[in-house]
């Protein structure tokens, strides 16, 4: 995104304009998931109580920061992809040649419009994976934030895959469309498993803390 204020971005989403829409919002939600993980890392690093977590949390923080940057860029990319598809659909279709040109342009734009949410979905899985050591070793006072980050990543993953599957279904090349559907299925499975691991780690720490009292 071009760094609008939060209020301005939400107003834009709420407006009658079709972009920014769901794809952009999903990317922003995923970026917030990464940011929550970074916050927990920042509340952990450099504290003697969590010295054993230093290496893993530092690596997680760096990865989450990179993913956050990619996802904010993807929010903008999604808006551009939608506008490019609408521009392709608006091309003249008065002659056979024009209709063919329009179809080729629309299919090309659809590929981009599928690739963007696919990349967002993959980033959501990576966020969940990066949150595992954060939930396992990070500051216990911010454990809920790690859980919320995982849940947001899982929700954003679901939303991104809705866009992947919807756009892939409009592709004329069945092999390409099937490839996207298969990748979506793989990401859905691996993402759900990664989110569950984070939640399990947090529950285990909560249970251990309760029994130690």
Express each pLDDT in 135-168 by its tens digit. 999 999 999 999 999 999 999 999 999 999 999 9
Distances (CA, A) of 2 to 31, 72, 80, 106: 15, 9, 12, 26
Q: Which domains does the chain show, CATH number per domain?
A: 20-204 (1.20.120.680)
Closest C-alpha among 119, 95, 82, 103 to residue 173 = 103
Q: Are 108 and 88 in contact (CB under 8 A)?
A: yes
* pLDDT for res 4: 78
| Residue 160: HSE in the Cβ half-sphere, 13 Å Cα cutoff | 35
Q: Are 182 and 118 in contact (CB under 8 A)?
A: no
- Locate the DSSP E strands across 23-171: none
For 64-90, write each residue's pLDDT tens digit.
999 999 999 999 999 999 999 999 999
Taking residue 212's Cβ as centre, other Cβ atoms within 10 Å add up to: 6
Distance, in Å, from the CA atom of 128 to the CA atom of 157, rounded to the nearest integer, reads: 10
Specify the pTM.
0.94
* pLDDT for res 209: 76
* pLDDT for res 213: 61
């Amino acid at each position: 995104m071009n760094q609008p204020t939060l209020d301005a971005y939400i107003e834009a989403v709420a407006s009658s304009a079709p972009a920014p829409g769901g794809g952009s919002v999903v990317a922003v939600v995923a970026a917030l998931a990464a940011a929550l993980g970074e916050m927990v890392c920042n509340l952990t690093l450099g504290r003697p109580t969590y010295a054993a977590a230093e290496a893993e949390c530092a690596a997680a923080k760096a990865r989450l920061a990179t993913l956050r940057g990619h996802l904010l860029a993807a929010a903008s990319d999604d808006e551009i992809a939608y506008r490019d598809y609408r521009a392709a659909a608006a091309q003249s279709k008065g002659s056979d040649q024009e209709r063919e040109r329009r179809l080729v342009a629309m299919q090309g734009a659809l590929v981009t419009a599928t690739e963007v949410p696919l990349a967002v979905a993959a980033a959501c899985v990576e966020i969940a994976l990066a949150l595992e050591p954060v939930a396992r070793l990070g500051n216990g006072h911010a454990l809920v934030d790690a859980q919320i980050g995982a849940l947001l990543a899982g929700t954003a993953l679901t939303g991104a895959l809705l866009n992947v599957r919807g756009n892939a279904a409009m592709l004329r090349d069945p092999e390409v469309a099937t490839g996207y559907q298969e990748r979506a299925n793989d990401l859905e499975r691996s993402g759900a498993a990664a989110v569950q691991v984070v939640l399990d780690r947090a529950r285990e720490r909560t249970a251990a803390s309760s029994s130690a009292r």
